[in-house]
Structure 1
Amino acid sequence: MSISNQASTSGGQTVVITGTNLGGATAVHFGSNLATITANTATSVTPTTPSGSGVAQVTVTTPGGTSNPLNFYYVGAPFKAALSATSGPLAGGNVVTITGTGLSTATAVHFGANTATPTVVSDSAITVAVPAGAAVGSVGVSVTTAGGTNNGFTYTYVDVPTVTAFAPTSGPASGGTAVTITGTSLSSTESVTFGGRSAPFVVINDTTIAAVAPPTADGAGGPADITVTNAAGSATAATPFQYLSSPGI
């Protein structure tokens, strides 16, 4: 006799028990709990699992007697501790890691209405390629295992930013110039650089960032590209910011 041997502690799942001389089954027990039989032939019995925990011995009773027991394992719902990235491109495709417990039987990860198949690394970690999103914005993330489905994370789909303008267009090589950058998809900005050097910034709204030009590496003037980066990618202004050299006499 054989059985698909894992299901949720909450019960209510259909399993199939196969063997011989199973016709006319009158009872299926999961430990001391009686299951509801939904189908029965000479070679199979299909019960709906009762609730339970741990390991339960399953037996089938027919007019001919009671079968040998088989071990059945109740699996608790997964617990998710961390999501390695909480945002990414609308096109998806980036791989994220979900850590927690009870993940070894994970069969699906849901990002809103979209579903992806994970790779099980261990009982405490799975990886999954994020599916494409339907629209920019946040969606719930849930993991489905043999023990059930657990929610609790939020993932945000973002668009690649654009930079359409900035002002003022120049400032001293010593840095410190307050620069207003305008464009699109700027609310999810993760970094702003001037000529590759990191600049402090504040997001005003989705179309505006306030940044402070850092000093140049060598203290000299010259052009510097302004680049804005978020989880979906980067955008560079069409014209560079001009650092101005200090006067000398």
Structure 2
Amino acid sequence: MPISPNQGSTGGGTSVVITGVGLAGTSAVHFGTKPATIVGTPTPTQVNVVSPSGTGMVDVTVTTPGGTSNPLSFYYVGAPFACSLSPDSGGTGGGNTVTINGTGLATATAVQFGTTSATPTVVNDGQLTVVVPTGVAAGSVGVTVTTVGGTADDLSYTYVDQPTILALSPLSGPTSGGTEVTITGTNFATTQSVTFGGTPASFVVISGTSISAVTPPGADGAVDVTVTTTGGSATSAGAFTYTAGPGI
């Protein structure tokens, strides 16, 4: 006589289906010593119930005019606790993988970012990973982990708009580097790196629309300039030109 699911929240309230034979006259279903709520009218092969509260593993029995069934095992699962999420921000396009740490995560079935749900990968009872879904807009959203034992909603995730590069000044400098370049654009507040032709440059974020960077040494010619932020990357192709000094 199967039972599905065979686990649920310690607070009760789990919808459970018990299948077997001779169940039409079911008068009671017990989870351990506690009666469950029978939903609808039992059929000869199925009875639907809502589990009562409980802890640990309990025997589930079905009582009919013909007697009491053999016991089935049902496992009560405690509510989860999520204590950290890393990284806790990313681009509005989603797609990056975050790690959630806590307890009671082994039965996680969904992770909600605001109103959008994602399917997690359970690493163990204390950790899971999940690919962040696309965000509705930039800003902070609540993160909720749903498990058999209940939900944990103590975390938040911040969506960040992708940066854009609008202009550079000056547009050229010596191959030896050292040119101070002002980069203007949008969504620069969380800038993590600036590169000229793939080579990292030192930089200072002036504001959400301005960065001051110092060019590293580079080869003669035009190179791409890339700004990488929490929200993603923006590249301006051939935006800066290295100029070799005179030789005699």
Q: Please indicate the TM-score interval, normalised by the length of the shorter structure.
A: 0.7 to 0.9
Answer whether contact 2:142 2:156 (CA < 8 A) is retained: yes
Work out which of the residue numbers 184, 202, 217 in structure 2 matches 1:182. 184
Equivalent residue number for residue 38 of structure 1: 39
Structure 2 distance, partners of 1:58, 1:210, is 69
**TM-score of the aligned structures, taking structure 2 as reference length:** 0.81
Equivalent residue number for residue 227 of structure 1: 226
Structure 2 distance, partners of 1:214, 1:80, is 43
Answer whether contact 1:30 1:59 (CA < 8 A) is retained: yes
The one-letter code matched in structure 1 to 2:200 is S
Unaligned runs of 5+ in 2: none
Answer whether contact 1:22 1:40 (CA < 8 A) is retained: no
Structure 1 distance, partners of 2:206, 2:153, is 31
CA 1:186–1:20 in 2, change beyond 3 Å: closer, same or farther?
Answer: same
CA 1:214–1:74 in 2, change beyond 3 Å: closer, same or farther?
Answer: same
- Count of aligned positions: 246
Structure 1 distance, partners of 2:203, 2:54, is 54
Post-superposition Cα deviations, 1:129-176, rounded to whole Å, max 9, x if no partner, equal 322222222222222111112122222333332111234556777766
Unaligned runs of 5+ in 1: none
Structure 2 distance, partners of 1:78, 1:203, is 40
1:111-126 correspondence runs (5 A): 111-126=113-128
The one-letter code matched in structure 2 to 1:117 is T
How far off its partner does 1:45 sit?
2.1
SS of structure 2 residue aligned to 1:57? strand
How far off its partner does 1:205 sit?
3.6
Structure 2 distance, partners of 1:54, 1:185, is 51
The answer on 1:70 being equivalent to 2:55 is: no
Structure 1 distance, partners of 2:52, 2:243, is 76
RMSD of equivalent CA atoms:
3.1
CA 1:215–1:130 in 2, change beyond 3 Å: closer, same or farther?
Answer: closer
Q: Tell which deviates more after alignment, 66-75 or 38-47.
A: 38-47
How far off its partner does 1:182 sit?
1.2
Equivalent residue number for residue 2 of structure 2: 2
Structure 1 distance, partners of 2:126, 2:54, is 23
**TM-score of the aligned structures, taking structure 1 as reference length:** 0.80
SS of structure 2 residue aligned to 1:40? coil
**Identity level (%):** 61
